[in-house]
Amino acid sequence: MTRAQGRTHGHGRVARFVGLRTFAGASLLLVAACSGPRDGSRDAAKGSVARDTSADSAFADSVLRAAEDIGASVTEVESVEPAPLRDPDAIRNALRAYAGGTYIGELFAARDSTNYRWPDRAPLRVWIQRSALDGFTETHRTIVRDAFDPWIATGIPVGFDFTDDSSRARVLVTWIDRYESRTTGRTRWVHDQHGWIVGAGIELALAQPDGRPVDGASMQAIARHEIGHLLGLDHTADESNIMSANVRVPELSEADRNTVRLVYKLPPGSLRAP
Ligand SMILES: [Zn+2]
């Protein structure tokens, strides 16, 4: 596996996760978005991939646009998670039964048919930073906490617990005032040798690149989008989904819910037929 230097952030805690898959974030208010090419993102640092687009669809008087920023590399860590059960018949049957109404095909096309997901486990501890940045309020933390709810409600076997102790957290949410690129959030995660996701960081910007604050509704949508990445989802072309690279909706769609449920019905790792 190619290793490359991941981008670093000022945050020591998040820097621990540098060197992994980096996912996108959302940006909004007619800020041009990036496309979300996933091919090859596991191989090496790609640099920022940006593509200007113009659009005028509205949500909360805004156009939310997600940005894909695949800049970091992938690091696979050894972990003590058990190897997944891999029953080709069960995989085939699950795909046959549940792939309808999902965008799982897009996901696997972008990842060489590899599934990444958290193990079934006791709730994951999530730490949401209290930032000293200008413009940060406790409401920002509440928004992020609430953004987990619709994902939890899908019934996937992953729960979340919130902690004030970052050293005990598997998921770290931190804040940045803004990005220079057209991004307002990003998610990165570490996977192990089996494809289990074993750690993740979400970074959210308080303001857009031009300095305007990200409003609450947009922050909520962006946080939901990033949490979808956190769970192992990728972008889909259909903009009625929260996981569209252009985030135009505030809520999870049925396809978002069905796709994450299917991801968690499947084992991690390659799903190619042996
Ligand atoms: Zn994204």
SS3 35: coil
Phi, psi of 170 (to 5 degrees): -95, -25
- The alpha carbon of 71 and the centre of ligand 1 are apart by a number of angstroms equal to 13
pLDDT of residue 95: 94
Predicted TM-score of the model (pTM): 0.77
- The alpha carbon of 70 and the centre of ligand 1 are apart by a number of angstroms equal to 10
- The alpha carbon of 248 and the centre of ligand 1 are apart by a number of angstroms equal to 12
Tens digits of per-residue pLDDT, 200-257? 889 999 998 889 999 999 999 999 999 999 999 999 999 999 998 878 899 999 999 9
Mean confidence (pLDDT) of the chain? 74
- The alpha carbon of 252 and the centre of ligand 1 are apart by a number of angstroms equal to 14
- The alpha carbon of 87 and the centre of ligand 1 are apart by a number of angstroms equal to 31
DSSP string, 232-245: T---BS-TTSTTBS
- The alpha carbon of 186 and the centre of ligand 1 are apart by a number of angstroms equal to 7
- The alpha carbon of 81 and the centre of ligand 1 are apart by a number of angstroms equal to 27
pLDDT of residue 274: 65
138-148 burial, b at 16+ Cβ within 10 Å, e below that, comes to eebbebbeebb
- The alpha carbon of 66 and the centre of ligand 1 are apart by a number of angstroms equal to 6
- The alpha carbon of 234 and the centre of ligand 1 are apart by a number of angstroms equal to 7
Q: Top-level CATH class of 12-270?
A: alpha beta
Closest residue by Cα to residue 93 from 260, 232, 267: 267
- The alpha carbon of 25 and the centre of ligand 1 are apart by a number of angstroms equal to 5
Which of residues 199 and 144 earns the better pLDDT score?
A: 144
Could you tell me the residue ranges of all domains in the chain?
Answer: 12-270
- The alpha carbon of 230 and the centre of ligand 1 are apart by a number of angstroms equal to 10
- The alpha carbon of 89 and the centre of ligand 1 are apart by a number of angstroms equal to 32
pLDDT of residue 196: 92
- The alpha carbon of 231 and the centre of ligand 1 are apart by a number of angstroms equal to 12
